[in-house]
Amino acid sequence: MSTASPYARCVADLHEQGYAIINDLVTADLIAALGTDLDAQFAAIGYSEGSFSGAGTRRFAGLLKRSPHVSDLVEHDLILRIAHDMLGPWCDHFSLNLTQAVELTPGASQQVPHRDQDMWPCSGFVDRKRGMEFLINVMWPLSAFTQDNGATLVWPGSHRRQDELLLAPEEAVIAEMAPGSALVFLGSTLHAAGANRTALPRRGVIISYCLGWLKPYELPWLAYPPEVARQFPRSLAHLAGYRVHRPNLGTYEGRCPSLLLDSTLDTPGAVDALLPEQEELIRAWRSGTIGSEAPEGSAANLDQSTLSATVAPGSQASHG
């Protein structure tokens, strides 16, 4: 039996298999309380429409405002550490991509296998060998996930086989889990909801995190407007989009949107949010160290993409 910590095992599994199941990550009581909080919304919500979401499923989002227990999952320390490891190299900080409750009603058919990061067309242009990840997904079962009720299907190793749109059904692993456990998988991992062949609904909560410079699946500023986000701990509000991504991305009135979390400011001016190396380049250009005589490789010869590349992998990754 492995003596590695759940964290170390999860990171190793994500690299090797593209997914990991962590048993007993939170208590079953916490998940039961969360499930109770979401019961009324499940009862009220209509069926999903569309060939992706799947007829026979019910989904709703904005979970942070529907149950106080959701933040325990969103800000689970082990999950944040894993998200930081997987996404940190490619961004200044990662953000919440989605919180969604999903129910497969009895008779729901299998979802189309997909990779979540295909939402962002740029993922297709990335050199596969760099292993760049755009998203980390966590599925928290509210009811036990079994082969019969549609446990999530994941294709081990599919994160390294991105040129293959689909893989053989028999290669899939059925992520059977009890409430309290979590299925963590990469945005590049092929997966799908299974088919529910039982008489009972299968319910789960999806919480995903993406690179902080991407457009998230769920717009957090609408799900959690400032008057809602002000009630969040600051770290949670940051995850929910109230944080500028350097350089100058995702601002409000030219400033870090976290200003909306504080008491009203009159008419503040714009404030740059730049990476240190970008500040350095600008300083060098202003002082004439680069650019004036345009020697080879100087800023005068740098195009926008070269400047932008200063936000590149590993530059300033920070936790959350």
Ligand X SMILES: O=C(O)CCC(=O)C(=O)O
The footprint of ligand X (CB under 6 A) covers 102, 111, 139, 152, 191, 193, 204
Residue with Cβ nearer ligand X (17 or 152): 152
Least distance in Å: CB of 57 to ligand X? 8
Question: 258, 273, 199, 198: which is closest to 226 by C-alpha?
Answer: 258
For the purposes of burial, counting CB atoms within 10 Å of the CB of 161, is it exposed (0-12), middle (13-18) or buried (19 or more)? middle
Residue 279 is encoded by which pair of tokens? 């500040």
Least distance in Å: CB of 58 to ligand X? 11
Residue with Cβ nearer ligand X (188 or 310): 188
| The dihedral formed by the CA atoms of 263, 268, 274 and 276, expressed in degrees to the nearest 10 | -80
For the purposes of burial, counting CB atoms within 10 Å of the CB of 156, is it exposed (0-12), middle (13-18) or buried (19 or more)? middle
Least distance in Å: CB of 216 to ligand X? 14
% helix, strand, coil for the chain, step of 5: 35, 20, 50
Residue with Cβ nearer ligand X (204 or 220): 204
CA 261 to CA 227: how far, in whole Å? 8
Residue with Cβ nearer ligand X (135 or 311): 135
Least distance in Å: CB of 193 to ligand X? 3
Question: 131, 157, 25: which is closest to 80 by C-alpha?
Answer: 25
Least distance in Å: CB of 149 to ligand X? 10
Residue with Cβ nearer ligand X (86 or 177): 177
Residue with Cβ nearer ligand X (87 or 139): 139
Residue with Cβ nearer ligand X (92 or 218): 218
10 CB-near residues (< 8 Å, 6+ apart): 20, 22, 78, 82, 184
Least distance in Å: CB of 275 to ligand X? 33
CA angle 138, 139, 141 (to 5 degrees): 145
Kindly list the distances between the CA atom of residue 177 and the CA atoms of 32, 152, 168, in Å, as whole numbers in the listed order. Answer: 15, 10, 23
CA angle 136, 20, 126 (to 5 degrees): 40
Residue with Cβ nearer ligand X (38 or 193): 193
Residue 192 is encoded by which pair of tokens? 């799908």
Least distance in Å: CB of 194 to ligand X? 7
Least distance in Å: CB of 116 to ligand X? 6
Residue with Cβ nearer ligand X (34 or 193): 193
Number of H helices, E strands in the chain: 9, 9
Least distance in Å: CB of 265 to ligand X? 39
CA angle 243, 67, 151 (to 5 degrees): 95
Find tokens 């650019």 and name the residue.
291
Count of residues for the chain? Answer: 320
